[in-house]
Amino acid sequence: MTHTAVKATAPGKIILFGEHSVVYGQPAIAVPVSQVRATCTVRENSAGTGILLNAPDIDRREYLSAAGENDPLALVVRRTLDALGVDAPSLEITVTSTIPIACGLGSGAAISAAIIRALGEFFRRPFESQTVSDIAFEVEKIYHGTPSGIDNTVVAFAQPIFFTKGQPIERLTVGAPLTFVIGDTGIKSPTYKVVGDLRARRTENPAAFDPIFAEMGTLARNARAAIERGDAASVGQLMGENHAILRKLGISHPMLDALVGAAMDAGALGAKLSGAGWGGNMIALATPDSAAKIGAALASAGAKRVIKTVVR
């Protein structure tokens, strides 16, 4: 028994602490960003001739059978149908997203999660969040090389998480709401490139990098405590320290540093790049009163897009 049409969505995400060090086993903190979302609609293909993939945002409309072996959309659909044990249905799968691509907001993982959820709902076998995360992780591995799993986990669970690679998810309790302003440099930066570059440098000289990653792990643990007790001033301070370390690691970009500076000048409690770096987004911790001023400062410093989100 199936539905005639179902829709599922998954949010974007930002990493508050611990990007990159999380790949090396240190803890990190990520939160969903519900203002931007991926959406998937699944309905019966009335033509009854297999699985039609529609991605109007990228002008794509083709049959699954014509998609390459490692095509990301096709891969997630195939893996999900395998998990459901469904053979050769006739479906029309439409995917849209308001999450900008390749800028650290978790677009790929959110698209996967929306597809997995929608297919589960369509076949009346809704997946647990952990299963959504696990299937999305399979796809992440093909595109990101050595992903930690933080992106698929936060978008699948759609709640603040304290994440350590390979360990059960820990939900984060937020002591007092935190207002973030996200600024997009507009510079696309594929995660696998930055992660691959850092991995190569670290392989040459682990002794130079591992203590830095450990320091970032300590920042993430201290940040967790600060978030849980609702201490925004400390969270902001720790964000600044995290950004300084990421700069030292060669992960930042002059535009990211300029936006971080503009946010701090406009009164942010802290600011840092978020995600893979070399472009993409930065985040600033604001108060409900200072958010508009910080957003305006980011826009006049050249941010291509500004999003406000409140973490609870």
Return the residue of 51, 276, 282, 311 that touches ligand PMV, per CB under 6 A.
Answer: 276
Query: Which residue lies nearer to ligand PMV by CB, 41 or 153?
Result: 153
Query: Which residue lies nearer to ligand PMV by CB, 15 or 136?
Result: 15
**Least CB distance to ligand PMV at residue 105 (A):** 7
DSSP letter at 216 equals H
Chain centroid, CA 235 distance in Å:
20
Return the residue of 12, 27, 104, 270 that touches ligand PMV, per CB under 6 A.
Answer: 104
Query: Which range, of 31-39, 68-76, 146-154, 179-187, touches ligand PMV by CB under 6 A?
Result: 146-154
Chain centroid, CA 19 distance in Å:
11
CA–CA gap between residue 75 and residue 220 (Å, rounded): 33
DSSP bridge pairs for 95: 40
Return the residue of 6, 8, 16, 22 that touches ligand PMV, per CB under 6 A.
Answer: 22
Number of other residues whose CB lies within 10 A of the CB of residue 108 = 25
**Least CB distance to ligand PMV at residue 25 (A):** 11
**Least CB distance to ligand PMV at residue 52 (A):** 29
Return the residue of 8, 9, 20, 153 that touches ligand PMV, per CB under 6 A.
Answer: 20
Could you tell me if 263 and 300 are in contact, meaning their C-beta atoms sit under 8 angstroms apart?
Answer: no
* 4 three-state secondary structure: coil
Could you tell me if 46 and 174 are in contact, meaning their C-beta atoms sit under 8 angstroms apart?
Answer: no
Query: Which range, of 91-99, 121-129, 142-150, 236-244, touches ligand PMV by CB under 6 A?
Result: 142-150
Amino acid type, 230: G
Return the residue of 148, 152, 252, 309 that touches ligand PMV, per CB under 6 A.
Answer: 148
**Least CB distance to ligand PMV at residue 296 (A):** 25
Number of other residues whose CB lies within 10 A of the CB of residue 72 = 17
Cβ-based burial of 48 (10 A; exposed 0-12, middle 13-18, buried ≥19): exposed
Site size with ligand PMV, rule: CB under 6 A: 17
**Least CB distance to ligand PMV at residue 151 (A):** 5
Query: Which range, of 58-66, 140-148, 211-219, 302-310, touches ligand PMV by CB under 6 A?
Result: 140-148
Could you tell me if 2 and 122 are in contact, meaning their C-beta atoms sit under 8 angstroms apart?
Answer: yes
Site string for ligand PMV, 42-81 (x = CB under 6 A): ----------------------------------------
Q: Reply yes or no on whether 151 is catalytic.
A: yes
Provide the H-helix boundaries in the chain.
72-84, 107-122, 129-144, 150-157, 191-204, 206-228, 232-248, 254-265, 291-300
Q: Is 150 an interacting residue with respect to ligand PMV (CB under 6 A)?
A: yes
Could you tell me if 76 and 252 are in contact, meaning their C-beta atoms sit under 8 angstroms apart?
Answer: no
Return the residue of 92, 134, 151, 184 that touches ligand PMV, per CB under 6 A.
Answer: 151
Chain centroid, CA 193 distance in Å:
16
Interacting residues toward ligand PMV by CB under 6 A = 15, 19-20, 22-23, 104, 106, 144, 147-148, 150-151, 191, 195, 275-276, 280
Q: Which residues are catalytic?
A: 151
